[in-house]
Structure 1
Amino acid sequence: MSASSPLSSDHQASLIDGKGFAASLRAQIRDDVRTFHDQYGVTPGLAVILVGNDPASEVYVRNKAIQTHHAGMRSFMHMLPETTSETELLALIERLNNDPEIHGILVQLPLPKGLDARRVTNAIRPEKDVDGLGETNAGRLAIGLPGLVPCTPLGCLLLLKDQLGDMHGQHAVVIGASNLVGKPLALLLLAEGCTVSIAHIHTRDTAALARQADILVVATGVRELVRGDWIKPGATVIDVGITRVTLENGKTRLVGDVVFNEAVKVAGRITPVPGGVGPMTIACLLKNTLTAARLLVTGKPE
C-alpha cells in the first residue's frame, strides 16, 4: 500500500516498540562496554548533576543511575541543593571536566531560577557533553561534522532507521522547533536525505503541512495537539510528547502530543505513549557516554 492509498475502516497502524528497541540497544551497549574495557582497561563513567529537589527530575536521575550501572558503566551522582550558586555549579563542572574517570557529564534541566542554563551547558567540555546541548556539538551537527547528538532526537532517528531503512527523498515534517528535540532532529533527518519542514508557533497552517508528511514527528509538549485528520494515510508518526492527565475517576494516564486513538486509524506506523520514544532517551544517553569514552581514550567515536 502506498502512503497515499485510502485505508480501510478497520485499519490499525503498526506500533513502533521503543521499549523493546531500547532494551536491545542497552544489551548491545553492555556488550560493547565490556569489549571496550577489555581492550583499554577503562570503564566509562557518567556524572549526573541535579540542582534542587524537583520530584520528577529526581526520579529521572535515579533511573539514569540504575541504567548506567546495568550497562556496566560507573555512575557519579551529584545532588545539589536549590541554593547552589552558579559559581559553585561551574566549579563542580570544571572538576568533572578534568577528572579522567568521568567521560560524560549531564546537568539535569530545568535548572532553578537564577542559574543560566546556557552558560552551564557550555561549561561542559564538548567531548564530555553527552546531552549534546552545548554550542560546539550543536554547531558540529549543523554543519554535518561528527559529534555528540541530543539523546531524544538520536533515539527518534534510530527508531525511524529501524522501521524505514533508507529515508532518502521522504518528506519529514517536524512539529516543534526546540533546541532539545525539534531542531537537532530536523538536521539529523536532513543528513539522512529527507526533505525537511519544521512547523512552530508561527506556522500558519500546521495541519496542512502535516498532511504532506511521509514522516511526522511531533515534539511540542502540547497534549493531543495533532488529530487524525492531520496525518497522511500510511505515514510514520513519532510522538515525542508526554503529559500526565487526570481522568474523571481520579486516576491518571500518560498521553502524547498526538490523539493516538485517531492517529492509529490513519498512520502506517506510530509510537505509542508510553513505550515509544521515552525509553530511547536513556538508552541513547548510555550510547553517547560510550561514544564519549571512546573519543577521549582513542580519539575515535567507534
Structure 2
Amino acid sequence: MTAKILDGTVLAKKLRADFKTRAEALAARGTRPGLAVILVGEDAASQVYVRNKVNACAQAGFHSEKISYPPEVEPGLVLAKIAELNADPEIHGILVQLPLPRHFDSDAVLKAIAPEKDVDGFHAENVGALMQGNPRFIPCTPYGIMKFFADAGIELKGKE
C-alpha cells in the first residue's frame, strides 16, 4: 500500500465557502446564524482555539459572541449565562470550551446547554441520539473527519 499525504486546505476553503453561502441564504430569510462560545480561564491553547472559532464565524457571516470569565468565576454565574443563551433567539449554538477549572462540574455545565444548541454534541440527550443512530446533528470534529476522508476518496465502511 502506498502512503498518501492528505491536505485539508482545499476542502476547508470549499466548506467555508459553502457555510458562507448557506449563512447568506438564511440571513436573506431573516435568520443570521449565531454561536456563543464560553471560555473560562486563561489557558493559552483554549484562547487560540476560541479565537479561531470566532474568526471562522466572522468569515462565514455568522454572528458570534465570545464570553470570557476568569478562572475563579463561580460556576453559578456561568450556568446563569448558559440559561440566558438558551433563551436567546439570536444564538443557535452554544459551545463551552473545555477543560473547565477544577471547581466546576463539567457534566453539570454541559447538561445546562439546551440540547438543540449543543454544538459539541456533549449533552446526554445528543450522545444518546447519536448512539442510537438518530443524531440531531453530527458533532463538528467527527463530521469534519468524515468529510475529509470522503473528499480524499477513502472508504471507511468495513474497516477496523
Equivalence for 2:86 = 97
Cα shift at 1:167: 4.4
Among residues 51, 64, 80, which one is paired with 1:62 in the alignment? 51
Aligned pair 1:107/2:96, yes or no? yes
- Confirm or deny: 8 A CA contact 2:36 2:93 kept in the other structure: yes
5+ unaligned residues in a row in structure 2: which ranges?
none
Equivalence for 1:292 = none
Q: Which letter maps to 2:18?
A: Q
Equivalence for 2:110 = 121
Scaled by the length of structure 2, the TM-score of the pair is 0.93
Task: Look up the SS of the partner of 1:68 in the other structure.
Answer: helix
Q: Which letter maps to 1:171?
A: K
Cα distance in 1 between the residues matched to 2:87 and 2:61: 22
- Confirm or deny: 8 A CA contact 1:49 1:106 kept in the other structure: yes
Q: Which letter maps to 1:18?
A: G
Cα shift at 1:22: 1.3
Equivalence for 2:21 = 31
The superposition leaves residues 77-104 of structure 1 with CA deviations (integer Å, 9 ceiling, x where unpaired) of 1011111111111101000000011000
Aligned pair 1:131/2:131, yes or no? no
Equivalence for 1:14 = 4
Q: Which letter maps to 2:7?
A: D
Equivalence for 1:43 = 32
5+ unaligned residues in a row in structure 1: which ranges?
1-6, 173-302
Cα shift at 1:112: 0.6
Aligned pair 1:171/2:159, yes or no? yes
**Larger Cα-atom Rg:** 1
Task: Look up the SS of the partner of 1:120 in the other structure.
Answer: helix
Q: Which letter maps to 2:112?
A: A
- Confirm or deny: 8 A CA contact 2:149 2:155 kept in the other structure: no
What is the total number of aligned residue pairs between the two structures? 160
1:204-283 equivalences under 5 Å are none
Task: Look up the SS of the partner of 2:100 in the other structure.
Answer: coil
Scaled by the length of structure 1, the TM-score of the pair is 0.51
Question: Greater RCO between the two (CA within 8 Å, min separation 6)?
Answer: 1
Equivalence for 1:251 = none
- Confirm or deny: 8 A CA contact 1:130 1:149 kept in the other structure: no
Among residues 137, 149, 153, which one is paired with 1:160 in the alignment? 149
